[in-house]
Amino acid sequence: MNNHLVRAHLYPLALARWAKDRGWGQQKLTEHYDEGAALHHLLVEMFGRAVIQPFRLMVAPGERSANLYAYTRFDAEELRRTAFSVSLPDTAAVLDPGQIQSKVMPASWYINQRIGFDIRLRPVVRQRRTTKAQEIDVFLAEALRDHKNDRTGMNRTGRCREAVYSDWLAARLNGIAMVERARLVRFQRSKAVRNCRVVEGPDAVIQGNLIVSDPEAFNNRLIEGIGRHRAYGYGMILLRPPDTRPPTC
């Protein structure tokens, strides 16, 4: 079965209003609005669980509208048919199924193929500090492990966030593709709502080139995504021509 890259147009403000009408962000435990979680619920209601995943919402600076890109096993016609059959009017008003576009992704890649990439990641690891495992920024995890009592240790050894996150990404593509070059083009700490709790963590955009090692595994990794929180707008490998620097958003 071929992978498909889909595009849909929506207005983030309409999404936020839709989420508020559903009561999200109004729970007793949190009033934080999580755009990624809202999109997750919207896509599940319209198309089914994990049908459109991983995805990435991209908003150009100063614009009110946004483009949603995602990988899926279904083409635009199949997605429209599903959404028109089951989605509620208020849901379809946020994301109009009629304007969904799609293209078929290549069925095969080749060894040593160079491809540019752009990916938004939540680079975390799970560590057990008490009775429950918690997510921790991989940069902080390395600093605590290797330089617990040395606040300058990471800088002194050249372990900046870009280096740590690039290694983290490379490890998740090990045997699938080699990360030839990676640049950390955006970083912030962002809040997310998971199980009615607000959790804070790293939010990074990395761009660069990769070289395909295992074409079949690479094809599967595109549809699977990378890292945690793939159902909430992270982990989608957007492909570009190699050695290009796309706009960051």
Encode pLDDT of 180-214 as tens digits.
989 999 999 988 777 777 888 899 999 999 999 99
Predicted confidence at residue 22, as pLDDT, reads 84
Q: What is the CATH number of domain 114-240?
A: 3.30.70.1210
Structure tokens at 49: 């669980």
**pTM of this prediction?**
0.90
Task: Please list, in sequence order, all residues whose beta carbon lies within 8 angstroms of the beta carbon of residue 156, skipping any fewer than 6 positions away.
Answer: 150
**27 vs 21, which has greater pLDDT?**
21
- 187 CB neighbour count, 10 Å cutoff: 15
Alpha helices in 35-175 (DSSP H): 35-47, 76-86, 89-94, 138-146, 153-156, 161-172
Q: Is the pLDDT of residue 25 over 60?
A: no
**What's the CA gap between 165 and 233, in Å, rounded?**
18
Alpha helices in 9-133 (DSSP H): 12-21, 35-47, 76-86, 89-94
Parallel, antiparallel or unpaired: strands 4-10 and 101-104: antiparallel
Q: Is the pLDDT of residue 96 over 80?
A: yes
Predicted confidence at residue 131, as pLDDT, reads 57
**pLDDT, mean of residues 151-178:** 91
Mean pLDDT of the chain: 89
4-104: CATH topology is Alpha-Beta Plaits (3.30.70)
**What's the CA gap between 228 and 243, in Å, rounded?**
27
Contact indicator for 42, 209 with CB cutoff of 8 Å: no
Predicted confidence at residue 130, as pLDDT, reads 58
Task: Please list, in sequence order, all residues whose beta carbon lies within 8 angstroms of the beta carbon of residue 74, skipping any fewer than 6 positions away.
Answer: 4, 47, 51, 82
Domain boundaries, the chain: 4-104, 114-240
